[in-house]
Amino acid sequence: MQQKIINTQDLAFQLFELHDVEQTLGYERYAEHNRETLQAALDLSLKVAAEEFAPHARLVDEEEPTFENGRVNMRPEVKKALDVLRDTGLMAAGQDYERGGMQLPAAVAQMCVGMLKGANVGTQGYAGLTIAAANLIMTQGIEHQQKKYAEPMMAGRFFGTMCLTEPHSGSSLGDLCTRAEPQDDGSYRLFGNKIFISAGDHELSDNIIHMVLARLPDAPAGVKGISLFIVPKILVNDDGSLGERNDVALAGLIHKMGYRGTTSTMLNFGEKDGAVGYLVGEPNNGLAAMFHMMNEARIGVGLGAVMLGYTGYLHALDYARDRKQGRPVGEKDPNSPQVPLIRHTDIRRMLLIQKAYVEGGLALCLQGAMLVDEKKHAETEDQRQLAAGLLDLLTPVIKSWPSQFCLEANSLAIQVHGGYGYTREYPVEQFYRDNRLNPIHEGTHGIQGIDLLGRKISMAGGRFYQELMDRIETTIGEARDIERLAPCADRLGRAVKSMAAATDAINAEKASGNLEKALANASLYLEAFGHTVVGWLWLRQAIKAMAGLQGNSEQPAEFYEGKVKACEYFARYELPKVVSLAELVGAVDTTVLGMQDGEF
């Protein structure tokens, strides 16, 4: 394996054996695809990732964009890579054919993007935000807005941003106060300051289309008074040509720990007469409109975290096979040759944890992507609703579990490298810094925990939670019939049982009205829930791998054996953590809640 972005055997296994992505080819939308066309898109993306993105990942980290004379300067390699992305059609891999896309199933489209993230998350950020902003206009905007703004974005001529955050309003978006004043011609003038806006300014495209959240003059307070606007950097004439510069000013760049290739900006809207903006969708419905896109965006965040963990793991594996150090425990002869690091059990432990986290995280994100297609294209309304509910339930987990555990994988990749891992001569420290963003943006870890425990598990009277647990029980039943997997199945069964007890206890606490107490350990619940779901996906991988070991296999026996061992690791070492976390949550422990300000 030349590239260290993904193990292509694992990718094929996960897509075609575990998740059976070919079943989506039964949906009319994907009728023109077959396994070969899906594979061709994946191969192309991996080639672009390895040849155009990975080579300058370090450069854009070391020479981050600068702001001089009102312009953003950055390495020319960034534009070159993005031009290739556009020219290959990968920029809009999941989009319709008529819009220049490849109309790929969601799981394949996500992977095409994911490989670019693993190769160079900084450069990929510009394309990712553009497609997210274009999707927002396509789903929420009127036809005229789609043609004028979204189509040039999907063609890679305009780039896009998401402008939510303000200095005093981060997690608490209901407090944002950028204001939008209606004009006689139906447009608006916006006034306010946004912070942390990724890709907020650059010279990579003809124009930048900002998707901005702001308040109308008589909007109600809180999240129900937020509207969504298109605010172009340069105004666009009706014939599509560019007009005057809009009143959007780059106030400065923010200097970050990682993700340095993507500009992080402070933007001032309306320093002069107001930035011209156009309402998207209904007034006061902006946050809901934005969140319409969030499920898919959050799969993207989770997958980004997986892919950074994955590349770190492959680098650590390569290093551990190459570097020689010390002798096996018990070997006393100082003249015996030194052995590769991978010969040491503790190194194998750290590699196995990384494998369990990144391959488990990948299975989780692909599960989410499969649900995206099911929710849109499944045959019956009932199936579509069920898929939508399951996706809603899993979204905070898909966003957060990889952000926590694949980041931990990155930390272990540094550890495998020893002192060298701590230097800038090896890329693993950058993967860690880049990945550290993922528990923070797109809703922090703490906010996702509150979302899962406070809202998602009890949606539709707990129907989707129960459906998920039933599906896990079905897999447990299947695994119990396979002798080698029966102990793993039992362990997962114990985790599910302890989660059920914790969930019941929290629901009772919520019913009694003490929400603060009920949600005091929401982050722990999120962790335990994520481990349970990933434990399920590991058991499903092991069932497929056992079948592979018994013949009829696409991959070598060693590959399947590795899958079963990783499942055994997860069941024996990781799943018991669910039981202890669930116990704490279920006991409605108030140690943390009870700690007062002055007591720190």
Among 1, 31, 177, 440, binds ligand FAD (CB under 6 A): 440
Could you say whether residue 308 binds ligand FAD (CB under 6 A)? no
- Smallest distance from ligand FAD to CB 87, Å: 26
Stretch binding ligand FAD (CB under 6 A), from 40-48, 73-81, 163-171, 390-398: 163-171
Residue nearest to ligand FAD (CB): 170
Nearest Cα neighbor of 190 from 128, 125, 269 is 269
> What token pair was written down for 27?
């949906």
Based on DSSP, count helices (H) and strands (E) in the chain, helices before strands.
Answer: 20, 12
Instruction: Reduce the DSSP state of residue 580 to 3 states and report it.
Output: helix
Among 323, 327, 441, 565, binds ligand FAD (CB under 6 A): 441
Give CA–CA dist 586/518, Å, rounded: 9
CB 150 within 8 A of CB 134: yes
Closer by beta carbon to ligand FAD, 229 or else 319? 229
> What token pair was written down for 458?
């009890």
Among 120, 165, 246, 284, binds ligand FAD (CB under 6 A): 165
Closer by beta carbon to ligand FAD, 200 or else 361? 200
Could you say whether residue 391 binds ligand FAD (CB under 6 A)? no
Among 126, 259, 401, 464, binds ligand FAD (CB under 6 A): 259
- For tokens 């303000």, name the residue: 166
Closer by beta carbon to ligand FAD, 399 or else 544? 399
- Smallest distance from ligand FAD to CB 77, Å: 21
List b or e across 184-208, with b for residues whose CB sees 16 or more CB atoms inside 10 angstroms.
eeebbbbbbbbbbbbbbbbebbebb
CB 211 within 8 A of CB 129: no
Closer by beta carbon to ligand FAD, 446 or else 576? 446
Give CA–CA dist 114/121, Å, rounded: 9
- Smallest distance from ligand FAD to CB 548, Å: 41
> What kind and span of H or E run contains 188?
strand 188-198
Closer by beta carbon to ligand FAD, 431 or else 536? 431
Q: How far is CA 512 from the centre of its chain?
A: 35
Could you say whether residue 121 binds ligand FAD (CB under 6 A)? no
Could you say whether residue 180 binds ligand FAD (CB under 6 A)? no
Could you say whether residue 197 binds ligand FAD (CB under 6 A)? yes
Known catalytic residue: 28?
no
- Smallest distance from ligand FAD to CB 447, Å: 5
Give CA–CA dist 79/71, Å, rounded: 15
Among 11, 90, 102, 163, binds ligand FAD (CB under 6 A): 163
Among 256, 260, 355, 563, binds ligand FAD (CB under 6 A): 256
Among 252, 340, 446, 462, binds ligand FAD (CB under 6 A): 446
Q: How far is CA 24 from the centre of its chain?
A: 22
Among 30, 53, 159, 196, binds ligand FAD (CB under 6 A): 196
Could you say whether residue 174 binds ligand FAD (CB under 6 A)? no
287: which residues sit within 8 A by CB, 6+ positions away? 173, 213, 223, 226, 228
Nearest Cα neighbor of 421 from 338, 327, 350 is 350
| First and final C-alpha spacing in the chain | 51
Q: Which of residues 419-438 bind ligand FAD (CB under 6 A)?
A: 437
Tell me the number of residues near ligand FAD by CB under 6 A: 19
Could you say whether residue 487 binds ligand FAD (CB under 6 A)? no
| Number of residues that make up the chain | 600
Does the CA dihedral 262-242-284-180 come out positive or negative?
positive
Could you say whether residue 170 binds ligand FAD (CB under 6 A)? yes
> What kind and span of H or E run contains 248?
strand 248-253
Q: How far is CA 282 from the centre of its chain?
A: 28
Could you say whether residue 88 binds ligand FAD (CB under 6 A)? no
Nearest Cα neighbor of 141 from 243, 209, 225, 197 is 209
- Smallest distance from ligand FAD to CB 256, Å: 5
Pairing of strands 207-214, 227-232: antiparallel
Among 23, 34, 171, 325, binds ligand FAD (CB under 6 A): 171
The catalytic residue among 17, 77, 442, 568 is 442
Could you say whether residue 275 binds ligand FAD (CB under 6 A)? no
Which residues here bind ligand FAD, judged by CB under 6 A? 162-165, 170-171, 196-198, 256, 259, 264, 437, 440-441, 444, 446-447, 450
Catalytic positions are: 442
